[in-house]
Structure 1
Amino acid sequence: MPTRAQRLRKNPTAAEIRLWRLIAPLRLGSYHFRKQAPIGPYIADFACHHAKLIIEIDGESHFLGAGPQRDAARTSFRQAEGYRVLRFTNLDVHDNPDGVYASVLAALATDTAHAR
C-alpha cells in the first residue's frame, strides 16, 4: 500500500505541477528538490534538504477553520529542525510565477551565502 506522501506525489494539484515546472532550472542546477517530502510527522510540498528550504503551496483549506493553526504548528516544527519555510498561495503560483521564482531564488541565494 502506498504511503500518504506517495499518493500525494501521484496526484499533484495544478499549482504544484506549475511550481515544479517553474523551479526546473534550479533542480537541473545545484539544488535537489523533492516533491511531497516527509519531514518528521509532516509532509512538505517541496523540500531542498541541502538548502534546508521548504516550499508550501497553500490552497483554500489552509485559510479556513483550523488550517492556520495547523500550518503554524508545521512551520514551528520545521523551523526547529532548521528549515526555512516559504509559503505561496495557489493564486500566487498561477498569477505571479515570476515573483514566486524570484522569492525561491532569493531564499536559495541566502542559503548559499550562509553555507560557504
Structure 2
Amino acid sequence: MLTYNLNLKFKARSLRSNMTDAEKILWSRVRRKQISGVQFYRQKPIGGYIVDFYAPQAKLVIELDGGQHFEPEQQYYDQQRTLYLQNQGLAVLRFTNVEVLKNIEGVMEVVFREVLKGVGHF
C-alpha cells in the first residue's frame, strides 16, 4: 500500500469539491469502474502529493494540467512529482485541460490502453 502525508487529506477533500471542468469530464468517464472494471479515485494523496486520478489496480495516475503547468518552475515540480510516482511503480499519464475539453475520446483511448497494460490484459 502506498503511504501518504496525512496533512494532505483535508486538502484532497477540498479539491474533490472544487474540480475543474476538465476534471469533471474525465471523472464522468472513469468513475464507477467504467474501464475494464477498474476503480479510479480522484484527488488522491500519494506520498507528499495529491494526484488528480489514481487507479491502484492498474498502477496508473492521470494528471490534468492547466496553464500554470507551462511555467518553468511548475514544469520542474511536475517532473520531480512524476519521477517520485514512477519510482513507486506507477505509470503517469499527463493531459492538458484543453486536450480533455476538446478531445475526450482521444484521451480516453490512451487511458483505456494504459489501464489494460496495468492490469495485464494488453
Q: Counterparts in 2 of 1:1-116, with a 5 A limit?
A: 3-24=10-31, 26-27=33-34, 29-113=36-120
Q: Which has the higher contact order (CA 8 A, sep 6+)?
A: 2
What do you get for the CA RMSD once the two structures are aligned? Answer: 1.9
Which is further off, 36-45 or 62-71?
Answer: 62-71
* CA spacing shift, 1:102–1:65, aligned 2, 3 Å: same
* CA spacing shift, 1:27–1:58, aligned 2, 3 Å: same
Q: CA deviation at 1:107?
A: 0.2
The share of aligned pairs that are identical, in percent, is 39
Q: CA deviation at 1:69?
A: 0.2
- Output the amino acid matched with 1:98: E
1-side partners of 2:110 and 2:35: how far apart? 18
TM-score if structure 2 supplies the norm length?
Answer: 0.86
Count of matched residue positions in the alignment of Structure 1 and Structure 2: 114
Which is further off, 11-20 or 21-30?
Answer: 21-30
- Output the amino acid matched with 2:97: N
* CA spacing shift, 1:26–1:101, aligned 2, 3 Å: farther
Conserved? CA contact 2:35–2:115, under 8 Å: no
Q: Which runs of 5+ in 1 are unaligned?
A: none
- Output the amino acid matched with 2:64: I
Match of 1:113, SS state, is coil
* CA spacing shift, 1:105–1:28, aligned 2, 3 Å: closer
Conserved? CA contact 1:37–1:46, under 8 Å: yes
TM-score if structure 1 supplies the norm length?
Answer: 0.90
Q: CA deviation at 1:110?
A: 1.2
Match of 1:31, SS state, is coil
